[in-house]
Amino acid sequence: MTEIVLMSDPKVAVVPVQECGERLVDVRRDSRLLVDERKWQDSAGAFAHLREGVLDRLFKAQALLPEGMRLLFVEGYRPPSLQRHYFDEYAHQLRTDHPEWSVEQVRSATSRYVSPPEIAPHSAGAAVDLTLADADGHELDMGTRMNATPEESADACYTQADNISGEARSHRDILSTALTTAGLVNYPTEWWHWSYGDRYWALMTGAETAHYGPRELD
């Protein structure tokens, strides 16, 4: 695999944000997108929101999929407080498992799986966790479960991992081609995480500024 820029890399944090003010929209209001129910315990429905520009690109990506396949949306917007909780929780787990690691090693390893809260694409409404489903809404084989950690999956959660089946590789390639063509970028340690308009997207595409910064749900 080629060198991966992690979310904790200072190059990501220094990308300037020129907030465009685009609203967050509830993806459940449009039946074109399958929405998984695993996050529906979130009574505020924050998980189901995305910036309008990101949702428009998901519709474009879905139109590029082979017949009989659909995108299955799992999580979009994540409040900054929840992002902080996820980051701290996973960092604590890694510190416990690796007491010899430095603070920077823990932060870097944590960012493979949870973005540092201050630059998190999810908290900007710019990122989406999603997978592929068949025409009946059943998830397709992607090689690991969504949100598998590097530890539990032997790094098979990395998008270009070579320790997955040929079928899973084909599905990942189909997903990647559609989303990349629609203008989104992938976080290479998580095959399911894609974003548009955030700092990571700007760094990966060479854009001068990010369009979306962290915000609270209205």
Tokens of 194: 């894609």
Of 45, 105, 99, 96, the closest CA to residue 75 belongs to 45
Q: What is the pLDDT along the chain (218 residues), one digit of tens a residue?
A: 468 999 889 999 999 999 999 999 999 998 899 999 876 666 578 999 999 999 999 999 999 999 999 999 999 999 888 878 888 888 888 889 899 989 888 888 777 777 788 888 999 999 999 999 999 999 999 999 999 999 999 999 999 999 999 999 999 999 999 999 999 999 999 999 999 999 999 999 999 999 999 998 87
CA atoms of 117 and 122, how far apart (whole Å):
9
Pairing of strands 24-26, 34-35: unpaired
Of 72, 144, 67, 134, the residue nearest 113 (C-alpha):
144
pTM: 0.90
